[in-house]
Chain A
Amino acid sequence: SQKIEQNSEALNIQEGKTATLTCNYTNYSPAYLQWYRQDPGRGPVFLLLIRENEKEKRKERLKVTFDTTLKQSLFHITASQPADSATYLCAYGTNAGKSTFGDGTTLTVKP
């Protein structure tokens, strides 16, 4: 069955640096990968989606890449701020609309 893994449970970085989060998947290739942000006690908030035929997507300080050869997606936050501290979830999706989430990486940006 499809499996999705986020390498780090936690990531601590200094304010102003670039945070890089990793998402790896196994077995068949998903139609798309999504990245969400979740704050404690709240529902996930959609950030970016990248399709299997796209290499890179950007939105403001966020960038996501999709490497189907490595079966990996990287999520970057440039010029990170303490307000970026949250849990970031990677999810793979099928064209049937089913999404499966990774365990998440909790990012802490220190001032």
Chain B
Amino acid sequence: DTEVTQTPKHLVMGMTNKKSLKCEQHMGHRAMYWYKQKAKKPPELMFVYSYEKLSINESVPSRFSPECPNSSLLNLHLHALQPEDSALYLCASSQPSRDRDHEQYFGPGTRLTVT
């Protein structure tokens, strides 16, 4: 199974809502990532978890809160978002071993619209 799944596919939320994005992989990967991608722009790294510990936080506002309950799951909790946070949110995973060199597998993304 070389698939990364993300739910939901689409999400519309108001600025006062609280919602969560979910990501799951069953490839045994021990690194998982959240990226944000705006239209016609490249993915921008937000967070990296390595062995279920947060290893990289790219100065993301606190209204985004990541969580890694176990090695297969990654969540992104959203609260009090702004319209400019509307984007495609991508989850990825990789196996951080010397041989695999962080080849990343991406999910299909969650299209988030903040109204």
Contact = CB atoms under 8 A, between A and B. Distances in A.
A43 B90 contact: yes
A96 B33 CA distance: 13
A49 B95 CA distance: 14
A86 B55 CA distance: 32
30 contacts: A34-B104, A36-B106, A41-B88, A41-B109, A43-B4, A43-B90, A43-B107, A43-B108, A44-B90, A44-B104, A45-B106, A46-B103, A46-B105, A49-B102, A49-B103, A51-B101, A93-B101, A96-B56, A97-B48, A97-B50, A97-B56, A97-B96, A97-B102, A98-B45, A98-B48, A99-B104, A101-B43, A101-B44, A103-B42, A104-B42
A101 B45 CA distance: 9
Contacts of B94: 97
Name the prevailing secondary structure of the B interface residues. Answer: strand
Give the residue among A43, A51, A93, A104 with the most B Cβ atoms within 10 A. A43
Contacts of B21: none
Nearest to B90: A43
A38 to B, nearest CB: 9
User: Interface range on chain B: under 10, 10 to 19, 20 to 34, or 35 or more?
Assistant: 20 to 34
B76 interface: no
A99 B109 CA distance: 18
Contacts of B107: 43
A109 B107 CA distance: 26
